[in-house]
Structures are given as C-alpha cells and as structure tokens.
Amino acid sequence: MVKSLETPPVELLKPGVKAPVQETLLTPRFYTTDFDAVAKIDISAHEEEIRAIVEELKADYNRHHFVRDDEFKQSWDQIQGEKRLAFIDFLERSCTSEFSGFLLFKELSRRIKDSNPLLSEAFDYLARDEARHAGFLNKSMADFNLSLDLSYLTKNRTYTFFPLEWVIYTVYLSEKIGYWRYILVYRHMEKNPDFQFYPLFRKFESWCQDENRHGDFFKALLRSQPQLWNNWKARLWVRFFLLTVFATHTMTVFERANFYEILGVHPRKYNNQVIEETNKTAARAFPIILNTNHPYFFWYLEQCAINNQKIIELNNSKRGLIVKFFKKIPLMKNIVWYMLKLYLIKPINTEKTRQAVC
C-alpha cells in the first residue's frame, strides 16, 4: 500500500468560504504569457484542421451536460471524517485548476480578438468549458457547505509567466493528462458502482471529452509551429515537460493516496496507467515520448514522490525553520538526482511512427 499524508482540516476565509490551500510547487498554478506573441501566431500550415476543431468546439456538445440533476439534491452529511476532508481537497484542487484554465483562455481570447480572430474564438470556447467545469465543482463544494471565492483567487494568487512555447507544451499535456485522469476514474466507477459515493463521477465521461478536444486544439496549434517539434531544442524541451508533468502527477497521487483508496482505486496502478496512456497519446503531438517501459522509470518517479512526502512531513513538523531548511537540502537533492536520471533515459522517437497512430 502507498503511504499517504493526513488531509489537513478545512480552514475558512469567511463562513462557508474555504481559504485556498497554501501555494506550493504542486498546487495548481495560475499562468500568464506573452500575448503579443500569441497574436502573431501564423497557423496557415494547419488552418484547415484548426478550423475543423473550432467548429467542433462551437457545436458545444456538452451544453446540457453540466446540470445538477435530482441525484445531487440531498444531504451529504453521511460523508464524514477523513473521507469528507479528502473529497473536499480533491474538489478544491480540481476547481482551482479548471478555473486557472478559464482565466488563461479568457485573457488569451480577449487580448487577440482583433489580431487573430480564429484563435480568439477557439480560446473563448475553451474558457466557456473550463468555466463550466470550475462552476460545477464549486457547486459540489457547496454540497459540503463550502465554496471557493473565485474572485478572491483571481486577485490574490500569484501568476506565473510562461513563454508561449511553454504554454503550448504544458497546456497540451495538462488537457491530455486531465482526459486520462477523468476517464480512468469513470471506467473504474462504472465497473465498481459501490464506490460511487457522490454523483460527480458519473459526469466524467462527457466532461473528459471536453478536455480531449482542448488537447486536440493545442496539438494542432503545436504542429502548426514546426520550431516546436522539428529540432533538437524542441526535443529537449518536450522531454523536460513530459518528465515534470509526470513527476508532479506521481507526487500528487502519492501525497493523496488516501483519496484514491477511498475511491477504490490503487494509487500506484492508477498513476502508472495515467502516465502510460498520456505518454502514448503525446506521440501524436511530440517528436519524442518517454520510455515508460524502462525498468527503472516508475521506480525513479516513486523515489521523487517518497522524498517529496518527507519534505511535506518536515514542513508540517514542529521543528525550527533552520533545522527544517538543512534537513530539506538532501531530500531536494534526491528529487533533482532522480529527475536527472529519468531525464537521461533514452526517449522514443515518434516522428517516424506518427502517421501510423494519428
């Protein structure tokens, strides 16, 4: 069994409004980018494909999906203790990351309205979907007598600047990993309905199709920019982003192993499957993918997660700041060391096989 950390009790900003979790490297972040560079993107090489995806987004297949049907209208007081805290934590993290997507897409759409109308329209549809996702999760939090103050979050979170190229790589990956995270939980719940303790999971099948379409849009955008995949620098960046997304996922799943166990999901198997599937999917967009079949691949990732858990335990301990600082150094060094070992595992070239898998 994977050892997870205790879920902290709920802190309130004001009555009924949950205080956002402290920002760390692993909490969902808010992003901003170089909007002038986005305005100048030339998509002519893949314009037909992008127009087709925009038409799909416009069709809005999920416009009637995010409805709180009768199943939601009941008291959820029977969910108590560790289960309640772990579920609220899941809702909060998911809501924050969906809302982060909404803010970025909305701003992108607004800033390039006149200069790049087709992309502006696409980002507007993406923002529409993410707003729905975040809103639906926030309403689920209200079932537990809590909510997130999204306008407070908008004003008070730190915004991280990412150059446009990084935004394209990371948003593509986060949409595709989001797809696999949702669909694997959905399939598990379909086979094991006893674990379906709240109706949100039933919504995941159509929900994850939104994420899939968002990922496809970013794939087309990425492929329309040859400098993002046809040279050695791009291959090094792709390798880096695949690795950081997979390492972050592993650390988050291991840190919250109790939540996955509550769902009846084996955290290690779930993590490995999400990573393997996302990596395979990424072969459609990226010039290389990681070799998840390497005998040490998942073992190295787990070493990162174990060292991360020790850092969290240390942070939560009553030791003094200076002791914490010095005890953290070897743990951080270990994470960097295992990440480096992972980075050096020979990747798989996908350019030759892409046509076959598309």
Looking at residue 59, its amino acid is A
- Interaction of residue 124 with Fe ion, rule CB under 5 A: no
Q: State in angstroms the smallest separation of the CB of 252 from Fe ion.
A: 17
Q: Alpha helix locations (H) across 11-149?
A: 35-39, 47-59, 81-111, 117-142
Site for Fe ion (CB under 5 A): which residue of 132, 133, 181, 219? Answer: 133
Give 176 or 223: the residue with its C-beta nearer to Fe ion. 176
In three-state form (DSSP H/G/I as H, E/B as E, the rest C), the secondary structure along 214-243 is HHHHHHHHHHCCHHHCCCHHHHHHHHHHHH
Q: State in angstroms the smallest separation of the CB of 211 from Fe ion.
A: 4
Give 126 or 265: the residue with its C-beta nearer to Fe ion. 126
Give 89 or 211: the residue with its C-beta nearer to Fe ion. 211
Looking at residue 337, its amino acid is W
Locus of tokens 């979790």 = 21
Span from 87-95, 212-220, 240-248, 316-324 in contact with Fe ion (CB under 5 A): 212-220
Give 136 or 254: the residue with its C-beta nearer to Fe ion. 136
Q: State in angstroms the smallest separation of the CB of 240 from Fe ion.
A: 22
Span from 61-69, 92-100, 141-149, 326-334 in contact with Fe ion (CB under 5 A): 92-100
**Closest to 293 measured CA to CA, from 345, 243, 234:** 345
Give 62 or 291: the residue with its C-beta nearer to Fe ion. 62
Q: State in angstroms the smallest separation of the CB of 129 from Fe ion.
A: 6
Q: State in angstroms the smallest separation of the CB of 64 from Fe ion.
A: 17
* Helices and strands (H and E) in the chain: how many: 13, 7
**Closest to 287 measured CA to CA, from 208, 214, 222, 344:** 222
Would you give the binding string for Fe ion spanning residues 264-283, x where CB under 5 A is met? --------------------
Q: How many residues sit close enough to Fe ion to count as binding (CB under 5 A)? A: 6
Measured CA distances, 44 to 82, 171, 225, 358 (Å): 52, 21, 10, 20
Give 135 or 264: the residue with its C-beta nearer to Fe ion. 135
Nearest-angstrom CA–CA distance, 96 and 153: 9
Site for Fe ion (CB under 5 A): which residue of 93, 176, 214, 268? Answer: 214
Query: Rounded to the nearest 10 degrees, what angle do helices 164-191 and 232-255 cross at?
Result: 40
Site for Fe ion (CB under 5 A): which residue of 92, 211, 255, 277? Answer: 211
Nearest-angstrom CA–CA distance, 113 and 347: 39
Span from 60-68, 82-90, 214-222, 316-324 in contact with Fe ion (CB under 5 A): 214-222
For 158, the enclosing helix (H) or strand (E) is none
Nearest-angstrom CA–CA distance, 9 and 132: 27
Give 144 or 207: the residue with its C-beta nearer to Fe ion. 207
Structure token pair of residue 208: 């994850």
- Interaction of residue 239 with Fe ion, rule CB under 5 A: no
Site for Fe ion (CB under 5 A): which residue of 7, 89, 94, 98? Answer: 98
Phi-psi region of 128 (alpha: psi -120 to 50; beta: other; left: phi over 0): alpha
Give 62 or 273: the residue with its C-beta nearer to Fe ion. 62
Residues at the site binding Fe ion, with contacts judged by CB under 5 A: 98, 130, 133, 175, 211, 214
